[in-house]
Structure 1
């Protein structure tokens, strides 16, 4: 049986202190493992939740685009049975700006092209045949709207923009056989028109070039 003297010896005290230090170290390691595991679980949960959110957002975007493509554009005007002959002379179109009909053999470049001067309508109609959206404006259009629409066109392949001084309304969007007048660049129909008709189902020659034509 150990004596009280041995139990209180310096060696016993050191062992007790060492054991206490080891106990605290094990406790710290255990807490660290718990924290690490908890953090990992939280990260995984966040990634799963975030991934689910992103997938949901992407699904919603797809649904919105599909709805824009299938829903009619409010106030839109349509023309059917448009001629598509190539001609070398000016064409007297029944609508202004024209949305189709006989046209020049050469298209106007429509690869996100913004023209600040009037362009030949016969060439622009050929661009519509290739699936382009043509944004036009007259002097009554507000500068801010013209700038905003020009920015959209400059970022959108298969679109072009130019002034048409003698059109009735300040802002008009045209595609082959389709046309709508909008009040401003923020009109929701602008985005819908682009989504629906840039290379849309109305395009007589989908995939045809929008570069390599006339650049003014």
Structure 2
């Protein structure tokens, strides 16, 4: 069967629901659609984990958010971020899983009223292939998947992660406690999201 081809008029007639967030988020990240795929990478100690938790809290304003904490579980550092960013304020819209296998996550997301935003931290520790990650995006087109990646020499670690970055609409690199958007929606390519102001100052001044 021949697949459908869209006319320019049909494309222009389409409407999309976007994240209605404030300027702190819209300036570096624009107004992405609520089902856009994200890819976030950064080195250890860059502020990546703190950024992801801040993003998770913001996304809870727009739908149930599931944090797949494959890399850290619910260890002490994860608990400290839960406390620091007051995740108790979004208690009803935030859940954490630590050991869902791929098929178990698919089953979870297939249920009614399942989470809308799914954070996978990290892609490498999940053990998934690129094909499995792509299948998740295709199987649940109304949901938003946020893949977190380890970094090696400034790039996502491993060829599957690099491939996954290409298909994400929002690509974010975290470095020096700043999150830089390299995606399709940013309004101001020169702007960034400051994860931790004191950390930025320490990095800039080379203070330990």
Instruction: Judge same fold: TM > 0.5, yes or no.
Output: no
The structure richer in strand per residue is 2
**TM-score when normalising by structure 2:** 0.25
Q: Which structure is richer in relative contact order (CA contacts within 8 A, separation 6 or more)?
A: 2
The structure richer in helix per residue is 1
